C-alpha cells in the first residue's frame, strides 16, 4: 500500500505532503518534512483547540520524543518540562536534559502544572489509578492532561495484561507479553493495559476528573489512523 496527499502539518506548521508506505497508518503515515505521525498530529491539533495559550503555560511531558508535538512544544514553550523515569536517578533532578519523574509519584507541587502531556504512556503504567491521581493533584485549577493511549478494546472493558506484585514480581496475563518501543530502555516497555472507552471511568474514579475522548479523521491535517483518539482530562476551576 502507498498513498500520499497534500495538507498542513500542525507539528511543523508547514504545508506538506503526507505519505504512507505501509497499511498500518498509525506508525507509517508521515509528514514528508518533519516525519511526524498521525497520533502526534492529532495530539497537537487537540492541544491547539483546547489549550491554545500553551506557549505561555507550564507544561510537563512524560517520555517525549525528538519529533512531532514533543519537538514543537520544547521549541516554543518557555516553561516546558520533559521527563523520563530513571530508576537510578533522584526524583525531581535532571539527567541528560530530562527531569526524572515517576507518574505514580510525581515530585511536582500541588496545583503547579498547567498542562500534562503524555503520548502512548498510560498503557505501560502498573498503578494507573495512582498516576491519574497524581496528574490531578499537580494540575492547576483549569489545567488539563491531554494524552494519547491506544484504545484497542473500544466498547469492551479494559483488559489488564500484566500487574506488579508487592514483591516486585511481574505477573503476565497474556500468552505473549507485548512490548512497545522505549527510547531509554532497549527491551522496550511492557504493555500493562489494553484500554477500552471505560478509561474515562477509571480516570474519574481515581481522580474525580472528567475526560473527553476526541476522535479526528482529517486527511488535510494528516490525521487518519488506527487508535487515533486523544483524551482530554480537565481540572475544574472552582
Q: Which residues of 92-127 are buried (b: 16+ CB within 10 A; e: fewer)?
A: eeeeeebbbbbbbebebeeeebbbbbbbbbbbbbbb
Q: Name the CATH superfamily housing domain 3-234.
A: Vaccinia Virus protein VP39 (3.40.50.150)
The predicted-structure confidence for 118-128, as pLDDT tens digits, reads as follows: 999 999 999 99
Comparison of pLDDT for 87 and 234, the residue scoring more: 234
At residue 188, the pLDDT reads 77
Please report the beta strands in 39-161, taking only residues with DSSP state E, as ranges in sequence order.
58-62, 79-84, 94-95, 98-100, 113-119, 139-148, 159-160
The full set of domain ranges for the chain reads: 3-234
What average pLDDT does the structure give for the chain? 95
Tens digit of pLDDT for each residue in 144-192? 999 999 999 998 999 999 999 988 899 999 988 888 877 766 677 899 9
- At residue 1 the predicted structure's pLDDT band, cuts being 50, 70 and 90, is low
The whole-number pLDDT of residue 24 equals 94
pLDDT in tens, 209-225: 999 999 999 999 999 99
| pLDDT surpasses 80 at 194 | yes
Amino acid at each position: 500500500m502507498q498513498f500520499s496527499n497534500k495538507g498542513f502539518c500542525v507539528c511543523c506548521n508547514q504545508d506538506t505532503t503526507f505519505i504512507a508506505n505501509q497499511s498500518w497508518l498509525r506508525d507509517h503515515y508521515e509528514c514528508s518534512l518533519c516525519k511526524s505521525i498521525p497520533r502526534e498530529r492529532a495530539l497537537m491539533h487537540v492541544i491547539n483547540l483546547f489549550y491554545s495559550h500553551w506557549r505561555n503555560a507550564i507544561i510537563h511531558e512524560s517520555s517525549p520524543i525528538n519529533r512531532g508535538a514533543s519537538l514543537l512544544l520544547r521549541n516554543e514553550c518557555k516553561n516546558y518540562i520533559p521527563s523520563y523515569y530513571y530508576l537510578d536517578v533522584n526524583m525531581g533532578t535532571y539527567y541528560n536534559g530530562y527531569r526524572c519523574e515517576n507518574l505514580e509519584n510525581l515530585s511536582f507541587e500541588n496545583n503547579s502544572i498547567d498542562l500534562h502531556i503524555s503520548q502512548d504512556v498510560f498503557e505501560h503504567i502498573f498503578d494507573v489509578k495512582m498516576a491519574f491521581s497524581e496528574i490531578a493533584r499537580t494540575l492547576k485549577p483549569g489545567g488539563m492532561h491531554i494524552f494519547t493511549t491506544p484504545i484497542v478494546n473500544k466498547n469492551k472493558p479494559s483488559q489488564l495484561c500484566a500487574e506488579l506484585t508487592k514483591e516486585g514480581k511481574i505477573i503476565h496475563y497474556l500468552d505473549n507479553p507485548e512490548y512497545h518501543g522505549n527510547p531509554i530502555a532497549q527491551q522496550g516497555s511492557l504493555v500493562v493495559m489494553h484500554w477500552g472507552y471505560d478509561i474515562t471511568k477509571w480516570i474519574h474514579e481515581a481522580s474525580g476528573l472528567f475526560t473527553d475522548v476526541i476522535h479526528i479523521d482529517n486527511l488535510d491535517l494528516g490525521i487518519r489512523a488506527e487508535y487515533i483518539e486523544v483524551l482530554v482530562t480537565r481540572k475544574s476551576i472552582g
